[in-house]
Copies of this chain bind each other. A is one copy, B any other.
Amino acid sequence: MPRGEMTTSRLEAFSDGVVAIIVTIMVLELRAPSQPTLAALLKVAPVFLSYGLSFLVVAIMWVNHHHLVHAVHSVTAALLWSNLNLLFWMSLVPFVTDYLGKNYHESLAVALYGLDLLMCSVAFFLLRLVLIRQDRNDTALTEYHSSVQRKNAFSAALYLLSVPLAYFSVYASFFVFVLIPAMYFLPEKRLAEGRE
């Protein structure tokens, strides 16, 4: 019964909506300091930096999600729920970002941030796995997915590393948090520019 089949565009629109909200409500955690002094403002700086980092990370996820879902022709239940699984872990980003911003020198907060981004990476991996299985007859697409999947697995491994690392040095974890966006950002740019 094809009556209830979801279109790719509706899946995209809903995901976009959730991502747009995630990226924007994080700013609500940026509480304006009650005193109008530079010292009070500087206390908000770590919260601001963690917001900036999470904005970048979620923006990259949004771009990747677009590349991932755009080619899909049929929205199966497996795809739908892998996507909702991804959105769930992404929806926790504002929480871990706030926790990190307020406790950036504490291993637990740093590890938790890494853990949520790890779960997002794993959710991306699973989502792509569903798509590879689903479109296994399209050789060009499968090849493309496989190459991105390797990159995805690599950044998931790095996020996994960042969790215990936070108990040795939070700065090592921060290095991972900054490295992965940098890694993703550059090839993405090259790819897209090569496309025109």
Contacts and interface: CB of A to CB of B under 8 A. Distances in A.
Among A5, A12, A193, find the residue whose CB has the most chain B CB atoms closer than 10 A: A5
A22 interface: yes
Interface of A: 1-6, 10, 12-14, 16-25, 27-28, 30, 32-34, 36-38, 41, 52, 55, 59, 62-63, 66-67, 70-71, 74, 76-78, 80-81, 84, 87-88, 91-92, 94-95, 98-99, 102-103, 106, 108-109, 112, 140-141, 144, 185, 188-189, 191-193, 195-196
Given A24-B91, A25-B25, A88-B52, A41 B112 contact: yes
A80 B6 contact: no
A196 B112 contact: no
The 6 tightest CB contacts between A and B, nearest first, are A77-B192, A17-B20, A4-B67, A36-B106, A32-B99, A36-B103
Given A5-B195, A27-B94, A78-B193, 17 more contacts: A5-B70, A6-B70, A14-B16, A17-B20, A21-B24, A23-B87, A25-B28, A27-B91, A28-B28, A32-B95, A32-B98, A36-B99, A36-B109, A55-B91, A76-B193, A76-B196, A77-B188
A41 B102 CA distance: 14
